[in-house]
Every structure is written in C-alpha cells, then in structure tokens.
Amino acid sequence: MERSVALDRLRATSAAGRAIIGAGAGTGISAKSAEAGGVDLIIIYNSGRYRMAGRGSLSGLLAYGDANQVVVEMSREVLPIVRDTPVLAGVNGTDPFRLLGPFLDDLKRMGFTGVQNFPTVGLFDGVFRQNLEETGMGYDLEVEMIRLAAERDLLTAPYVFDVESTIAMTEAGADVLVPHMGLTTAGTIGAHTALTLEESAARVQEMRDAAVKVNPDVIVLCHGGPIAEPEDAAYILGHTTGVAGFFGASSAERLPTERAIKKQIEDFKAIPTA
C-alpha cells in the first residue's frame, strides 16, 4: 500500500471519531487475526519473533540476532497473508553493518508501506545510554533513518520517549509518532516496573503538544508500560487531547495468546472421562 493511501485511511478513521489501532505481529497468524479484527497498521520487528517464542520483548535489544535480517525473514510469513492493511518494518537504525538507504529501498520493493525505529536505543538509559551516544550508536541515527525513509515516501511511525526525541522525529518527517511508556507490564513475561496510567497520560500529552507545534498534521498514538488493555488505552485517550489511538505489541498478540491457549487447555482438561 502506498504511503498516501495509508495516511488517508488513518486520517479518515480519526475524523470519523474512531481510534487508530496498530498491532505488532510476530507470526503470520497474529497478522491475519489482527487484520480480521480491523487493525489499521501492522508492524513487524525482531521482538515480535522473540515475544512469540516466550521471551521478553526487551530481548530484541540484545545481541540475539541480526534485527534487520530477522525482519526480512519475518516478512515472508507476514506480507503474503495480509490483504488490505499497511505493514511497517521495524528497522534498526543504528546497525553499523548495513547501508540504510539501499536497505530501505529493498523494504519498499518487498511490499512494506513504511517503517518504525526498532530496536531503539531510546529504551536504554543511564550510563549505558550515554556511552552509546558518545560512541556513535545513538538515537540520532534512528532519526536519520526516519528522514531517509520519509525521503523515499515510506510511512514513518517512530517511537519517541521525551520532548527532545519527539521534536527531532517530527522535524525528520515522521507521519505517526508513538510515545513509548516502557515495557508492557501485564502477562507472564511483562515488566513489573512502570509509570502509572496518570503519569503516562501526562507524558503522552506533553509529547503530542510538542509534536503538533512542529507539524499540526502529525498523528500521535500511545504505547507501552501500563497501557496494556483496551480500558487502559481508553483511559489515556480520555485523559489527553489530540491523541488518535493506540499501538500494541505485547497487548495485541502476546497477552491474547497467553490467555486463549491457557483457557483452551483448561477446558480440554476439564472433560470428564467417565
């Protein structure tokens, strides 16, 4: 799907008073089911594969594989099964062993509508984050990746983490911004440390307000941390202004899978034999 078509659809959804929903897909069945549910965006990235293998989403930030190559491999499973929904690729913009321009061209030829910045150093903090920035592996490379993608007319939906990163990504040409509240907290492999919903609403609002000062047309979706369930997303949208929807990864595929399989097996185990 062309970027212009995808953007028109997203804006029409918002104008109609409906929430824009994006979903991470680590498997073909996840993508197929999300599309059947009416999802507006599907995003595939390396953490999706690890998450659906039973590992925490932050495994996508560690040296367990070539993140960009994993996305290419996943595309063979997801792209052919998705019929009418824009699919975005999670791109590791700090990858020092890949020419990002030609790689983005390849992704577009493969059938991706756009990109997101994942893995992202935005999820690192403290001295380690400082050292990454000091040694040429910082968030600015992800901003540059989004700029290159925008130049190629790819839909861009980067994760942002504070006002500074929000402004940088908006200036780079981001179409959709996803303020990231941290690792999702629910389920068997979710985090236990997170912001509250109230704190998240304030942070999302702050980033949204900074973004529209740069580009009044930018679309903002919330994501992560305590925003794990539909009612959590409803809380954020009800306590912010101008936030258009929600992007879920663990929330969209891991949590429903954990519950559904567990319940199905429990029901089978409850069958009497006499």
Question: What sign for the dihedral angle of Cα 81, 246, 253, 260?
Answer: negative
- CA-CA distances (angstroms) from residue 156 to 6, 37, 80, 86? 11, 23, 21, 11
Residue pLDDT, tens place only, 1-59: 999 999 999 999 999 999 999 999 999 999 999 999 999 999 999 999 999 988 888 89
Residue 194's pLDDT is what? 72
Q: Is the pLDDT of residue 187 over 70?
A: no
Q: Which residues pair with 114 in a beta bridge?
A: 88, 155
CB burial of residue 102 (10 Å; 0-12, 13-18, 19+): exposed
Percent of the chain past pLDDT 70, that is, above it, reads 96
Residue pLDDT, tens place only, 189-235: 455 567 899 999 999 999 999 999 999 999 999 999 999 999 999 99
